[in-house]
Amino acid sequence: MGAICSSLAISHSSIAVSYLSSSSATSFLHCSPNSISNIIATLPTYRAGFSQTPLQVVGGRMMKPSSSSSPVSLGFSQSGETKEVQEEVVLKPFATSLSISPALLENLVYDALVWSSLNGLVVGDKSVKRSGTSPGVGMVHAPFALLPMPIQEGFWKQACELAPIFNELVDRVSLDGKFLQDSLSRTKKVDAFTSRLLGIHSKMLEINKKEVIRLGLHRSDYMLDAETSLLYQIELNTISSSFAGLGCLVSDLHRHLLNQHGKDLGLNPKRVPGNTAVRQFAEALAKAWNEYDNKRAVVMFVVQPEERNMYDQHWLSFLLKEIYGVNTIRKTLAEIDGEGQLLLDGSLAIGGQIVAVVYFRAGYSPNDYPSESEWNARLMMEQSTAIKCPSISYHLVGTKKIQQELAKPLVLERFLEDEDAAKLRKCFAGLWSLDDSEVVKTAIERPELFVLKPQREGGGNNIYGDDVKEMLLKLQHEKSKEQAAYILMQRIFPTASLSYLIREGICHQNNAISELGIYGAYLRNNDKVIMNDHCGYLMRTKDSSSNEGGVATGFAVLDSVYLT
């Protein structure tokens, strides 16, 4: 156990937050984030797969030599026809360049698999029946990248610096009930799930329910656009931000591998920043529990009935107990409905135990509410005095529709000081509602440059490529109110590099792209901000041909970062 603890105890001393120079930031987004003509002017040349040009391993990834790249500009002609598209491979300038021999690769994979098994970098194995319900039964290593993904330190710092601002933004937006209700008013008419969430929110507004102690455990996800060299936010997760536990272990794994083999690889283990996500999340939960001020109360993890990612969650509950002496319980929404009770003083009791903090690792998807029982549970928790992570308001702030509303001109400025608003806006990609006929027209003509997103979380729900066109035409044809269920987003094209992705003990070589997640923790009691930090990171890497992301959904693998 000691070994496991120490592997998680690495501090993030190497991650000093500093201000990023905006000199590289020449994007259209600075002047007019939603201008479609600007977007077309700067949209990336599509980066196809690698050609026959020899590859080299750079910073642990195989890259196409820069001499082979052939940048061209791409845009719309006056007539709206597509200009000729040429391939371009945009490369990252890494100092280190090396090749991995088959023997070294075999060693690395073997060591990594042993390390994962010894250190709890595991998930339930889907081929074993009880692996999602019984801990210790049917475990397999979590899918991971063999070597960390290189990222320039400036982008890393920029993303870290944004986390406390996003934390504050979520808190402020959550207090504006009218903004949330108005922004989602049309969506709720066509999206039953959003409507139910909004219904609970309305009830809380009616009874004037105030959340005095507010806890947010968020993760803001980014992709680095190769063409513009800008970091763009993909989404902000305010509910069930997962992989703080296993993500930390992947950072430790990569450091371990570079400690063992770094000389052969020409890579320095110190360039993999320590990852404090799970420790800081545990700290935030413990501090919230402390604010609730009832030593006998517990932290309740709201979980899905079957959860193959349970060990990620168990890392958090384990640290809560080990470091802070806080007891946790795990309950499904149905169990909470069956065993839960609102006491006269408003506190939430589950089977006689008072709950100080409700931590949601379920409840973000319609599938989590198969019957009225689950909705009853959600409402009961919301009405209680327990600290909700997230509250219904925090949950709604994380919806894609609100992300799009916040990207409209001058909306951020309603909630943040101008300087902070400007920093966030820099990372906003183009986001539009389907009311914008000019953008919809462009998306029908060039669907590959957009992502069409419904109000869903958890991966596997977005629409890409020709399906964007088909869906938009269908919605247009039917003059459907259903348009309000979707938002359109500019598609981001990160640089692809050849990576080693390990799944079920087998090493695959893929052209891969990555998504960087930065965790943020926010805790507030009335006027006092107790915690507002960035806390660790999650890199996820996936085959560049895969549209979707998500580790649990099988698209991506866990990764860490190599600062260059």
- Nearest approach in angstroms of CB 151 to ligand ADP is 16
Which residue lies nearer to ligand ADP by CB, 279 or 426?
426
Position of minimal CB gap to ligand ADP: 549
Nearer to Mg ion, 162 or 298 (CB): 162
CB 329, min distance to Mg ion, A = 28
Chain CA centroid to CA 175, Å: 23
Is the CB of 221 or the CB of 335 nearer to ligand ADP? 221
The region, left, alpha or beta by phi > 0 then psi within -120 to 50, assigned to residue 255 is: alpha
Is residue 441 exposed (0-12), middle (13-18) or buried (19+ Cβ within 10 Å)?
middle
Q: Is residue 463 a known part of a binding site?
A: no
Mapped onto helix, strand or coil, the DSSP state of residue 292 is helix
User: Tokens standing for 418?
Assistant: 């101008």
Q: Which does 297 bind (CB under 5 to 8 A by kind): Mg ion, ligand ADP, none?
A: none
Catalytic (active site) residue 283 = no
Rounded-to-integer distance, Cα 241 and Cα 328, Å = 18
| Residue 227 annotated as binding site | no
Helix residue ranges per DSSP H, 452-531: 466-477
Residue 401 counted as an annotated binding residue: no
Residue 266 binding target from ligand ADP, Mg ion, none, CB below 5 to 8 Å by type: none
Annotated catalytic residue 61: no
Asked if residue 489 belongs to a known ligand binding site, the reply is yes
DSSP state of 248: H
Out of 453, 469, 511, 524, pick the active-site residue. Answer: 453
Q: What is the DSSP letter of 306?
A: S
Long-range contacts of 137-142 (CB under 8 A, 24+ apart): 139/311, 140/504, 140/505, 141/113, 141/116, 141/117, 141/502, 141/504, 141/505, 142/116, 142/246, 142/249, 142/250, 142/551, 142/557, 142/558
Cα atoms in the Cβ-side hemisphere of radius 13 Å centred on 527: 0
Residues in the chain, total: 564
Task: Pinpoint the alpha helices (H) of 129-243.
Answer: 153-174, 177-183, 185-190, 192-206
In whole angstroms, how close is the CB of 234 to ligand ADP at the nearest point?
5
Q: Is 270 a catalytic residue?
A: no
Q: Is 235 known to be catalytic?
A: yes
414 is annotated as an active-site residue: no
Residue 388 bears catalytic tag: no
47 annotated as belonging to a binding site for a ligand: no
Is 237 among the annotated ligand-binding positions?
Answer: yes
Tell me whether residue 88 or residue 235 sits nearer to Mg ion (CB atom): 235
Looking at the Cβ atoms of 255 and 395, the one nearer to ligand ADP is 395
> Has 235 been labeled as part of a binding site?
yes
Q: Which of 457, 524, 544, 550 is catalytic?
A: 457
Closest residue to Mg ion, Cβ-based? 235
Which listed option, ligand ADP, Mg ion, none, makes contact with residue 489 (CB within 5 to 8 Å by class)? Answer: ligand ADP
- The listed partner (ligand ADP, Mg ion, none) that binds 483, CB under 5 to 8 Å by sort, is none
Tokens 């040349």 belong to which residue? Answer: 45
219 has catalytic annotation: yes
Are the C-beta atoms of 48 and 16 separated by less than 8 Å?
no
The one catalytic residue among 168, 227, 235, 374? 235
Binding mask 219-238 for Mg ion (x = CB under 5 A): ----------------x---
| Per annotation, catalytic residue among 116, 237, 391, 544 | 237
Question: What SS3 state is found at 501?
Answer: strand
Contact partners, residue 382, CB within 8 Å, separation at least 6: 200, 203, 204, 209, 388, 391, 392
Is 275 known to sit in a ligand binding site? no
Is 455 annotated to bind a ligand? Reply is yes
Closer CB to Mg ion, 120 or 430, in the complex: 430
β pairing state of 353-360 and 298-302: parallel
Task: Clarify whether 294 is annotated catalytic.
Answer: no
Residue 458 bears catalytic tag: yes
What is the C-alpha end-to-end distance of the chain, expressed in Å? 33
Select the binding partner of residue 457 from ligand ADP, Mg ion, none (C-beta < 5 to 8 A, by kind).
ligand ADP
Binding site for ligand ADP (CB under 6 A): 221, 223, 234-235, 429, 451, 453, 457-459, 461-462, 489-492, 515, 548-550
Give the number of other Cβ atoms within 10 Å of residue 183's Cβ. Answer: 22
Binding-site positions for ATP: 235, 400, 453-462, 464, 489-492, 515, 542, 548
Binding-site positions for Mg(2+): 235, 237, 457
Give residues in contact with Mg ion (CB under 5 A). 235
- Active-site residues: which are they? 219, 235, 237, 242, 400, 453, 457-458, 540
